[in-house]
Amino acid sequence: MSGHGPLSGVKVIEIQGLGPTPFAAMWLADMGADVVRIERPNLKPLIPQKVDVLNRGRGFVALDLKSGGDRDVARDLINSADMLIEGMRPGVMERLGLGPGDFPDNPKLVYGRMTGWGQSGPLAQSAGHDINYIAITGALHAIGGTHPVPPLNLIGDFGGGAMYLVSGMLAALHGAERSGKGQVVDAAISDGTAHLMAMIYSMYGSGIWADEREANLLDGGAPFYTTYQCACGGHMSVGALEAKFYAEFVDRIGLSGADLPAQMDVSGWPKLRAAFAARFLEKSRDGWAALLDGTDACCAPVLSLAEAASHPHNQARGSFTQIAEVTQPSAAPQLSDTPGSARAGEEPEPQSVEEVLVRWGVR
């Protein structure tokens, strides 16, 4: 099921997993790769859904990797692939005879390994989830109010996990094209999340970031970088950091900078917050959006999941699409010459292994 994006012709085997593993495979499929997922036969989904968006753009074959015959078939598929994605605990694929060293006939294979803690280290064999992985990086500590708040699983599973796996695999694929030799990509969510925190650690190391929540420019501490409740109960986001944008924000909401504390005077932030909060309560969210949209005041309405796809900007850019009557994000980022696309393909029945091997030119 190869697409027409920049990765058209790239063959990928995905060992079925959860969260970041299918997300990475979805992204590769969106960009045109021919991705085939290996699923255990008759496996019931952990969370039944009308459509599993993370499985779009590709089909699957049903193989029991604990069965010798099915394992041999899986080996044939992997020997024919450019890349493999797996999210097992360290050592599991090796015990199945499907580890990185088991494919000498496919020296260019890029072997992507997605775990929470990585392939090594004292926690490598421990169970965990997104919230645990980001907890040891400083990221979870920095987010929230009186207590840390998990940022959905965006920072860990998908940001620090899947997208680092994808970028590492694409770098390794580029290297294999030049050297003829593939390599293992050890993508740990804890590593990726720590890497995402580079700017925050830079500010912390420079003495301009307090190691506490809601006390800094970007964590809700600044009254000009936070959200405010409106008369309707909805919220507006404010991100007026730069002086010229802050000045426009203050002017457009009808306040006078001369009557307020200086923007960067931290001691005056409580007074600023109170003034902004009182003003936002005078109009509905949509009323403020109508006043501030398209200006340099750096404000935007906080939309619900039900509302986001209908926003004019998202509609103009095609940020969302609908497949099988389910609204979902479109492929991203947008490429000028060989754009990716969100494609249907979550098939209810497994593909024929022979069909895949023929499509891949193996038989």
How far from chain centre, in Å, is Cα 9?
24
Query: Beta strand 225-229 with 235-239: parallel, antiparallel or unpaired?
Result: antiparallel
Question: Cβ contacts of residue 155 below 8 Å, gap of 6+?
Answer: 130, 134, 139, 193, 196
Question: CB–CB of 85/138 below 8 Å?
Answer: no
Instruction: Assess whether 157 carries a catalytic annotation.
Output: yes
Q: Which of 129, 141, 235, 311 is catalytic?
A: 129
| φ and ψ of 22, to 5 deg | -65, -30
Give the separation between CA 55 and CA 244, rounded to whole angstroms.
Answer: 45
Q: Which of 30, 34, 82, 157 is catalytic?
A: 157
What 3-state DSSP class applies to 322? strand
DSSP string spanning 169-222? Answer: HHHHHHHHHHHS---EEEEEHHHHHHHHTHHHHHHHHTT-S-SSTT-STTTT-S
Cβ-defined contacts of 62-66 (< 8 Å, 24+):
62/350, 63/38, 63/39, 63/353, 64/40, 65/15, 65/38, 65/40, 65/96, 65/98, 66/96
Question: CB–CB of 328/342 below 8 Å?
Answer: yes
Instruction: Assess whether 105 carries a catalytic annotation.
Output: no
DSSP string spanning 99-128? Answer: SGGG-TT-TT-EEEEEESS-SSSTTTTS--
Alpha helices in 20-128 (DSSP H): 20-30, 68-79, 92-95
> Among all residues, which ones are annotated catalytic?
129, 157
